Amino acid sequence: MQRDKVLDLASATEMVHDGDTLALGGMTLYRRPVAFVRALLQRDPPPQGLTLLCFTAGFESDLLVGAGLVKRVRTCYFGLEAFGLAPMFTQAATNGALEVIEETEASLAFGLRATLAGVGFMPGQGWLGTDLLKARPDVQVIMDPYTGADVVAFPAVTCDVAVIHALRADRAGNAVLGGNLAVDVELAVVAERVIVTAEEVVERLEPSGSAQGRGLLDFSGICVTAVVHAPRGAWPTSCYPLYPVGGEELLHYVESCPAAFEEYLDGFQRLTETGENDD
């Protein structure tokens, strides 16, 4: 029998502890775990001193930075695409209030692969001949013992908690993401605790993509700790094919912040609680 892993949002947020590395799934403004972030901000008290790990960071990550929960950031991009800069990250990074660990697609991808392989680093040719190595003294250039050529040893990347938003999941944690996987599957494997928030939670998803399952599984519930039912849980980021980006809300955010962040956050919490997030 598969274990029932369904929890409510408030209970799931208790899995995030002070000082944790928190990984958020999705990509730019697509399928981000916004509902979970909102619940985390409402927790009393919320976790402090987090390291935020994202392949790309966006709206949901900026809320955490603005609320002062994040100590350091590891991502290859932090912004709102066509909607401009992420205002709270830009302010915190400029003021020196946030530690930014320089990352690229290569360093994150190779670092995750190293963890998946159970080794301390993964070699690659990215960063050779760049100044990125000066910004990251922990990333070393070593000699390939087989060719004698220089390669970069990218350190393994791990995280304590990964939160991934899915189109649907079953009660055991098997999940369908719906395309544009980013590095969500890898995060689900390397994290110590994995929380899946889902637009729809069903009794059981079939790996074969049957009519009951409605889509091939993207990852197994074996690595999932908790499942949370969160309809429209990615809004105002998109969740294809269910709903598009909430452009009006994102414009409101960048126009309000950083000067009126607290006021914006209060209004955003009320808006999502009343179910009026339908633009």
pLDDT at 216: 80
pLDDT at 165: 98
CA distance 62 to 180: 21
Q: Give the model confidence (pLDDT) of 25-55 as tens digits.
A: 999 999 999 999 999 999 999 999 999 999 9
pLDDT at 88: 98
Averaged pLDDT, 14-22: 98
**Domain extents in the chain:** 6-102+158-202+212-269, 121-155
Contacts of 236 (CB under 8 A, 6+ apart): 34, 59, 245, 246, 247, 249, 250, 253, 277, 279
Cα distances (angstroms) measured from residue 183 to each of 96, 106, 162, 239: 28, 12, 11, 16
pLDDT at 3: 86
CB 225 within 8 A of CB 159: no
Is the predicted pLDDT of residue 252 greater than 50, yes or no?
yes
Strands 140-143 and 150-155, by their bridges, are antiparallel
Task: Give me the helices (H) in 34-192, please.
Answer: 34-42, 59-66, 87-95, 105-117, 132-135, 184-190
Segment holding 262, helix H or strand E: helix 261-273
Segment holding 261, helix H or strand E: helix 261-273
Q: Give the model confidence (pLDDT) of 181-225 as tens digits.
A: 999 999 999 999 999 999 999 999 977 544 344 558 898 999 999
CB 22 within 8 A of CB 50: yes
Q: At what angle do helices 59-66 and 261-273 cross, to 10 degrees?
A: 120
Q: Where do the DSSP E strands lie in the chain?
A: 6-7, 21-24, 50-53, 70-75, 99-102, 121-124, 140-143, 150-155, 161-170, 175-176, 193-202, 226-229
Is the predicted pLDDT of residue 90 greater than 90, yes or no?
yes
pLDDT at 274: 63
Segment holding 263, helix H or strand E: helix 261-273
Q: Give the model confidence (pLDDT) of 112-157 as tens digits.
A: 999 999 999 999 999 999 999 999 999 999 999 999 999 999 999 9
Cα–Cα nearest to 234, from 55, 28, 51, 49 = 28
Q: Where do the DSSP E strands lie in 193-279?
A: 193-202, 226-229
Q: Give the model confidence (pLDDT) of 75-85 as tens digits.
A: 999 999 999 99
Strands 161-170 and 175-176, by their bridges, are antiparallel
Domain 6-102+158-202+212-269: CATH class, spelled out? alpha beta
Structure tokens at 258: 């950083």
pLDDT at 213: 40
Burial of 165 (0-12, 13-18, 19+ CB in 10 A): buried
Q: Give the model confidence (pLDDT) of 151-187 as tens digits.
A: 999 999 999 999 999 999 999 999 999 888 999 999 9
Q: What's at 96, amino acid-wise?
A: G
